[in-house]
A = this chain, B = another copy of it.
Amino acid sequence: MRLTTKDKILDVAEALFAEHGFNDTSLRTITSKAGVNLASVNYHFGDKKTLVRAVLNRYLEAFMPAVQDALITLNLNHTYTMSDVFESLREPLRALGDIRPNGTSRFMLLIGRGYTDVQGHLRWFITTRYQETLSLFTQSVLKANPNLTQETLFWRLHFTLGTCVFTMASSQALMEIAENDYEKQMDAKYIVDQLIPYLAAGVAA
């Protein structure tokens, strides 16, 4: 057998959580689709909350250090633009596609679910464990446009998160429509290309 039970659970849970949300994905659905026993979730993870965190953490532990590195490199410059800040996210996001098929959109979906589902424990987990990187990002945005107040910045970054989450959630449908209408091959990279200037413009406005 190629995959351990633990990994089978993680892979299937990830797909289902991304598609239906955490609360609307039952352990029964996960285990039956993964071809493992219902009780194995509790054996390997203890409870559902811990499974949720484990799924998200496979991405976070790849993504966050990559962002951290990119931002540190960016900050070797004395000045930079808002576009430069958002460009720093491009490669770390793309690289998630190397970890797992559709890794980029999966990750963005899961993050969004963590905010919109009732998952206080998840928000707490992310912001406390990766506080250093998150605050380096905000500092960089602020350095790119020092006229932004802390408060305006707070709101615009959340708007940005919303844009990403929703886009990735509907990316499959959107790409199909766009491919039909504009007869052009679409992929996750293409969407990110459309996204980055839009986000930079909104945040810098």
Contact = CB atoms under 8 A, between A and B. Distances in A.
Contact of A150 (B117, B154, B182): B182
B163 A178 contact: no
Contacts of A151: 178, 181-182, 184
B194 A201 contact: no
B158 A170 contact: yes
A165 B167 contact: no
Contacts of A118: 20-21, 24
Interface string A160-173: 11111111011001
A167 B178 contact: no
Contact of A166 (B150, B165, B184): B165
A36 interface: no
Nearest to A170: B115
A177 B123 CA distance: 12
- The size bracket of the interface on A is 35 or more
A155 interface: yes
Contacts of A57: none
Nearest to A171: B158
A165 B203 CA distance: 17
A112 to B, nearest CB: 7
Nearest to A156: B198
A91 B198 CA distance: 25
B170 A116 contact: yes
Interface in A176-195: 177-178, 181-182, 184, 191, 194-195
9 A-B pairs closest in CB distance: A162-B166, A201-B205, A202-B202, A155-B194, A198-B202, A116-B116, A116-B169, A162-B163, A163-B163
6 contacts: A21-B116, A116-B116, A116-B117, A155-B174, A197-B205, A199-B202
Interface of A: 20-21, 23-24, 112, 115-118, 150-152, 154-156, 158-167, 169-170, 173-174, 177-178, 181-182, 184, 191, 194-195, 197-205
